[in-house]
Structure 1
């Protein structure tokens, strides 16, 4: 958060003719926090709080915050992935290879690795990914068929690095993946992951611009669109909506969501085109993102109403959609002071994706809210707090 946040907050508040107390009442943000921000005693706050203040002041969130990145991975996490970072940055070296990689071998290895990505098998990926990246690099030097394989692997690696909050490594992998893309759909798929990275880095304006530009470029003719085209276009619109709602542009967010829903209706079902789980899209995906937008907008009651209509048994226990949605549900329960229900949701996530949960700052924030409101903690609450590394 920029150190000028408090100055901008005070300036806009005065232009609106509001006192600090009135801004507190209109935004739901405590008066003491507003005072500390404006006086420079606090130089940062959560993006959710900034959005609440911006909404009360009727300005885009980006008028208050230039950038508000999620907390990067800690040193222990980064150290676990050093071999992957090294493989991403290392120059290609064909000399000294005991055996040159083959197209068939690398293709089969990438296919075998996809379930490790989709099921958050971080330990196994930490072991397998460095050599696979090196083989894909070497193959592309000797066989042009290796280029789309390398693009796909780099996209998955960028997604993984984003998932684990290693943002610089993610940017490197995704930039290279986009450069390697051999067709428009592959490129747009990589851009979708880049949009997610920008959102996690708090670069809302950049995410909106990138998603909007590519959505315009790849918009298909609905009468003859392929499933791959509809999925790719739909995801770009969902990322546009996600950036817009966080930037306090609810009309733009709803317009993008409505267009994404038209793509989902044209598909008629959840569809995973060739290219894997990152491209899965359909009516349920749109419903999940509509619920996420409601949570960002501070409407926990709407979140729980929408969530009750979503057939969760149709979704696999993976982080890309389902688990993020479940965190929104847990957050809504927490804000409604239904702490037991929130803990039950966390248990559901832990059962399906135990390696995913510790990497989620959002999960830590929600559990901090639960712990802070309870006089005593149940054993399950303590276990979950330890799992997400909640400070004591």
Structure 2
């Protein structure tokens, strides 16, 4: 009985060992990456709809808002009135400035007349002084009379100088009054808020009756043709970005409806915290009215590969972003081989275009039981 049990145990071990040997020697089916043609290399980014030209505008002076001529969603032209403040105090200051100018002009006219009178009197007294000096020289008139005439002529010349200075002061007063009038007219004009450019009114912040401080926003305006998408791209995948590359933008409000776009600007400074680069894209023929701040998903095409094998990143052991080790099927046997990645795709796959020997098939997914040299049968698979 004891011998019989040993023989049965031995037979069982032989059967089990044979099964294991057969299982190990039998080729296993392994999914390998097929060669794909014209592979698009894409980079994913997440961002939002923004505007290149956006302005929060308000009055430069304080006052009470009495009129609002535009509202949310209105299209306005450059120079259109959008709102107005109560102009009563500014109009009063303007009237006072106009009266001040009139007074200065009248004073200038008076000074000019006094100057002309002083010049005429000076000319008359100088002529009298010359005649009396001539008479005194010939012994016909007295010396004292000639000296008195000459003194009066000199005083008249001095009076002319004084009146000319008064006229210059009067002209300066006119210039000051005109400048003050211009300042008051400018201040009155600032009580009307005008559109600085052709714009779409995005937000109306204040209503009539509101007391405003200088610079307080009344409207937010956007240039309709300046909408674009600001996307943030992982700097580890941003090496192939370039201005002019095509892209697809999908808005949160339009899922499944990607729109064509183009890269128009790439930031020159990366975010030091998130390690992302800023990329701006302009939509081409976008339908509907964009909404500022709406979330957008961006897929940028940075290039195309004529032919490549695509593997999931998980298929590469020790992958550092540039190279890693993969399983391959070579001459019907499993092998390990280090490869260098040509490109990383937005869907988590990597592209191999070179580095594999002729006939080597890269394995898509490793499985338990893989060992170098084990028999394998390649089967086309999908990453």
Tell me the TM-score normalised to structure 2 length.
Answer: 0.18
Determine which structure has more spread, i.e. the larger CA radius of gyration: 2
More helix by share: 1
Instruction: Please give the TM-score of this superposition, normalised by the length of structure 1.
Output: 0.18
Select the structure that is richer in strand.
2
